[in-house]
């Protein structure tokens, strides 16, 4: 078929957390659409393996550390000279009742899910603005719109709401300089993050019965949403939050 604008042929794409879970599915999809992949990953075991599989580059990256993010950008520029696509996918969740959340747990979630996304947007955004072109896709969550239950996860939910609004802010700020910034908000996906919950019937029953489609998404069902936003197919979209949740937030 004709690619209808969805191709990333010859583009350079960076995916944070690209060695695991949803990030792995996204990395594979972008590679499959023609991109040269940079796997920015804190995990030194999965990262190199995925980079090898996709004939790309692994760059050890801790998104919570601005210096590490700057090193990532420098490494990619040295090798490729540019960054066309950034997918901010790295994220963590802790399920702790809010009245008991230790300070360091709250800060850890915010450091990865919110601060990490901003450090990457800022550093990569600079480079994209200089060239006057680029597309950033932030992985938010339906948790930025609704409050998940029955499991407690206030920090995660707050961080994802912040990512959605930060995406709108950066989208507005950079729109007339050729850099698009959008977010994808998935519902429940079958990943290691949800494995624990699916093993507890008191959680999984609520999750499934709250989703009109009555099932979890496979990571491969979310990856095309990231590709759509990353590619020229979405050239008029910026600041948009694309919800892919099996209907969860309709109820």
Nearest distance from residue 230's CB to another protein, in Å? 11
Does 199 participate in binding another protein (rule CB under 8 A)? Answer: no
- Catalytic residue check, 248: no
Q: Does 186 bind another protein (CB under 8 A)?
A: yes
Instruction: Determine if 13 is a binding residue for another protein (CB under 8 A).
Output: no
Contact 38, 77 (CB under 8 A): no
Using CB under 8 A as the binding rule, whether residue 233 contacts another protein is answered as yes
* Smaller CB separation from another protein, 95 or 249: 249
Q: Are the CB atoms for 93 and 193 separated by under 8 Å? A: yes
C-alpha 247/C-alpha 33 separation (Å) is 27
Residue 56 near another protein by CB under 8 A: no
Quote the CA–CA distance of 87 and 89 in Å, as a whole number: 6
Return d(Cα 179, Cα 88) in angstroms, integer. 15
- Return d(Cα 58, Cα 19) in angstroms, integer: 9
Q: Is 82 in the site for another protein (CB under 8 A)?
A: no
Query: Are 218 and 161 within 8 A, CB to CB?
Result: no
2 binds another protein (CB under 8 A): yes
Span 135-174, contacts to another protein by CB under 8 A: 168, 171-172
Task: Tell me whether residue 60 is exposed, middle or buried, using C-beta atoms within 10 angstroms of its C-beta: 0 to 12, 13 to 18, 19 or more.
Answer: middle
Spatial distance between the Cα atoms of 66 and 86, rounded to a whole number of angstroms: 16
How many residues lie near another protein (CB under 8 A)?
A: 49
Counting contacts by CB under 8 A, is residue 227 touching another protein?
yes
Q: Which of 156, 188, 228, 248 is catalytic?
A: 156
By annotation, the residues acting in catalysis are 156
Q: Which residues bind another protein (CB under 8 A)?
A: 1-7, 28-29, 32-33, 168, 171-172, 175-176, 186-187, 212-214, 217-218, 220-225, 227-228, 233-247, 249-251
């Amino acid at each position: 078929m004709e690619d209808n604008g969805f191709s990333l042929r010859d583009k350079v794409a960076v995916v944070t957390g690209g060695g695991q879970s949803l990030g792995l599915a996204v990395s594979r999809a972008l590679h499959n659409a023609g991109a040269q992949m940079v796997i920015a990953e804190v995990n030194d075991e999965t990262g190199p393996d995925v980079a090898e599989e996709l004939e790309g580059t692994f760059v050890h990256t801790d998104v919570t550390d601005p210096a590490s993010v700057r090193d990532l950008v420098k490494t990619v520029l040295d090798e490729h000279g540019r960054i066309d696509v950034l997918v901010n996918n790295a994220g963590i969740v802790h399920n702790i009742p809010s009245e008991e959340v230790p300070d360091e747990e709250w800060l850890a979630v915010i450091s990865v899910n919110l601060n990490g996304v901003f450090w990457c947007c800022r550093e990569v955004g600079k480079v994209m603005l200089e060239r006057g072109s680029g597309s950033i896709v932030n992985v938010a969550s339906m948790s930025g719109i609704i409050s998940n239950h029955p499991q407690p996860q206030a920090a995660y939910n707050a961080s994802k709401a912040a990512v959605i609004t930060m995406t709108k802010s950066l989208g507005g700020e950079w729109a007339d300089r050729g850099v698009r910034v959008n977010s994808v908000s998935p519902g429940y996906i079958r990943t290691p993050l949800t494995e624990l919950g699916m093993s507890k019937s008191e959680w999984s029953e609520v999750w499934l019965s709250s989703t009109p489609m009555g099932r979890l998404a496979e990571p491969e069902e979310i990856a095309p949403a990231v590709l759509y936003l990353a590619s020229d197919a979405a050239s008029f979209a910026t600041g948009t939050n694309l919800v892919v949740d099996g209907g969860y937030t309709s109820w």
